[in-house]
Structures are given as structure tokens and as C-alpha cells.
Structure 1
Amino acid sequence: MSEEAAAPEERKRVWKTPANVTLCLESDLADPGSRGFVLQIGDAFFHGFVVKKDGEVAGWVDRCPHAGFPIAVEFDRYLSRDGELILCGWHGAVFEPISGKCVGGPCAGGKLTPWPVQVVDGFVKTA
């Protein structure tokens, strides 16, 4: 008689980060480009991503407003092939990279949750 393996414990999530955490060099981001980040805050984890488009940088919580799934199916793959829009790989919702507004798909009219970031002396940091 074999024992069933225990289900893995779900990791605690947080939805905000402290200010002034250095994420990467701005030059590490292509334009257009994106990069995902997982930050451990205490015993919980924050999942977010930043995008760069036309020289502007924006940060977003990595959670689709449609079903709550992460945006990218593959880490760091947040943008459409042409780099024009953020693409939810699960259900096809598309978002403007800088405003976060959903412009198509199942959550049209919705918006991504902002993650405050800023560029300081060439570094992308939490704000």
C-alpha cells in the first residue's frame, strides 16, 4: 500500500513591493522589450514584469485581470511578436505596454495592475 504524495504547499503571494529595490539596468531592456521579476518579501513572493516601449518604462503585476493567471506562458515573454502589445499567453488578451489598458480579448476595457517602477541613474527600481 503506497501513500499518496502530499500536494505542494502553495506559495504566499504579495501584491506590492518596497520602494528603491534595484531590478536591472535600463540598458538590459530592449526597446520594445520586457522582463519578469520574482521578489521574495519575507515568506511571500511578488511576481511582476517591466516593459520598455518608445523609451518609456512601465511595471505591471504579473496577473491577468481576466482569470488571474500570470501573463506570460514563458518567463520574460510578455510582448506580442511585433513588440507592440503585451499578450496574455493563456487567453489572448492584449494590453497597451505603457498604459496597461486591455484593448482586445476577454478583458477588453480592463487594465493591468500597475507596479510602480522608475528609472534612476540608469537603473530600473521599484518606486
Structure 2
Amino acid sequence: MSQDVATVGRIWETRAGINLGPLDLIADGAARNYVLQIGEARFHGFVVRRGEAVFGYVDRCPHAGLPLAQKLDQYLTPDGGLIACSWHGAVFTVEEGACVGGPCVGARLSPWPVEAREGRIVTA
């Protein structure tokens, strides 16, 4: 069985307790990309900040399996209200990762459990 080139060396989850850095690394209302080397594999995810709350997702569109952003950290619509896939225009809610427009309505982003704790972002 052959693997899709985009998935070779990729993992889709992380363990709890990984320190991703200070909460202030992400501006309120913005998003940030994270690539974590875990053993021989890499995890690709992103975090969106809303005040003191953070929402993490695996960086993979459920429509085509591609990373959502074509430009580094550009995961949100221009008004910052939704997560957007820059390839085919799918849009997702920040809080739930539910697709509410575009080619994959009804699908969801894969959650990446993260939390803000004592001014830091940590995997949960």
C-alpha cells in the first residue's frame, strides 16, 4: 500500500504537556502555525487566539487534505471571524472547526487539544 506523498512522515496528534510558547506570541484575533518534530515525524497544526482562549487544529483541510494556509500564519478570513482554506475557499468556525461554507460544508477540522495556562500555550 503506497502512502500519499503529503502524509509521509506526518503524524496527526501530539501528547499533552508540550509548551508551545507564550500566549502573547499570538495577537488576539490572530492565528499561528506550529510544526513540531516528534521523533522521525512532523506534526503540523495551528492555533487561533480569542482573548485568553485558544483553539487548535491539525493543519489539514477535510476537503482536499492540503494545509489550509498558502502564506505563513494566514489562517483567518480578512475580518478574522472564520478560519479559511486558501485553496478552495472553505470556511470554518473558530470555536468548533465546523465547515460553514465552501466545498466541505458539514465536515470539521481535526481538533488539536491546546489550552492557555499561566500565560503559555500548552498541548492538552
TM-score normalised to structure 1 length: 0.89
Q: Which deviations, in whole Å up to 9, do the C-alpha atoms of 1:45-94 show, x marking residues without a partner?
A: 00000001254211000000001000101111101111011010000000
**Structure 2: where are the runs of 5+ without partners?**
none
Residue 88 of structure 1: aligned partner: 85
Between the aligned partners of 1:53 and 1:123, the Cα distance in structure 2 is 14
User: Where do 1:48-67 residues align within 5 Å?
Assistant: 48-67=45-64
Pairing 1:72–2:69 present: yes
Cα distance, 1:11 vs. partner? Answer: 4.5
Residue 117 of structure 1: aligned partner: 114
**Structure 1: where are the runs of 5+ without partners?**
1-7
Residue 103 of structure 2: aligned partner: 106
Q: Pick which of 50-59 and 107-116 moved more.
A: 50-59
Q: Pick which of 47-56 and 94-103 moved more.
A: 47-56
TM-score normalised to structure 2 length: 0.91
Between structure 1 and structure 2, the one with the greater Rg is 1
CA RMSD for the aligned pairs?
A: 1.5
Preserved CA contact (<8 Å) 1:51 1:98: no
Q: Secondary structure at the match of 2:24?
A: helix
Q: Pick which of 32-41 and 16-25 moved more.
A: 16-25
Poorly superposed stretches of 4+, deviation over 6 Å: none
The residue identity in structure 2 corresponding to 1:51 is: V
Which of 19, 26, 30 pairs up with 1:29?
Answer: 26
Of all paired residues, the percent bearing the same amino acid is 52
CA 1:72–1:97 in structure 2 vs 1: closer, same or farther (change >3 Å)? same
Between the aligned partners of 1:24 and 1:68, the Cα distance in structure 2 is 27
Q: Pick which of 19-28 and 82-91 moved more.
A: 19-28
Pairing 1:45–2:49 present: no
Preserved CA contact (<8 Å) 1:96 1:102: yes
Cα distance, 1:26 vs. partner? Answer: 1.0
